[in-house]
Structure 1
């Protein structure tokens, strides 16, 4: 299961955002079912960021969000309001 949370971050806040993003990923990584995660920035729109994580299933992700709520709270105003959980339909690993 893939989770994508997008943020619109003013350039003046990007350094603080990165620090808070690290804290969120560290919190998520400590939760059961976490596989991997990353913080990414759009190449074309530098104010657009994504916190991407992979999970063993949606239940693990939803429970992890509860555990990470306090770390995520300061960034909620920057979040793009859209669905964030995606189930794998056709995974293809690189060789």
Structure 2
């Protein structure tokens, strides 16, 4: 399961955002079902960032969000209000 949370971050806040994003990833990484995560910045729109994580399933992701709520709270005003959980429908090389 793939989770994508996008943020609009003013340039003046980008360094603080990156530090807070690293803290969120560290918090998520300690949760059951976590596989990997990364913080990415758009090459076309530098104010657009994404926190991308992979999970063993949607239940793990949703419980991890609850555990990481306090770490994520300062960035909530920068979040884009859109769905964040995506179910894998095709992964090359994965048993079908």
Pairwise TM-score range, normalised by the shorter structure: over 0.9
Aligned residue in 1 for 2:87? 87
Matched, 1:43 2:43: yes
Q: Once the two structures are superposed, what CA deviation does each residue of 1:16-71 show, in whole Å capped at 9, x if it has no partner?
A: 00000000000000000000000000000000000000000000000000000000
TM-score w.r.t. structure 1 length?
0.97
Unaligned runs of at least 5 residues, structure 2: none
Give 1:92 shift: 1.9
SS state at 2:18 partner = helix
Q: How many residues are paired up? A: 93
CA distance in 2, matches of 1:38, 1:13: 18
CA distance in 2, matches of 1:41, 1:92: 25
Aligned residue in 2 for 1:57? 57
SS state at 1:64 partner = helix
CA distance in 1, matches of 2:92, 2:25: 24
Unaligned runs of at least 5 residues, structure 1: none
CA distance in 1, matches of 2:92, 2:15: 34
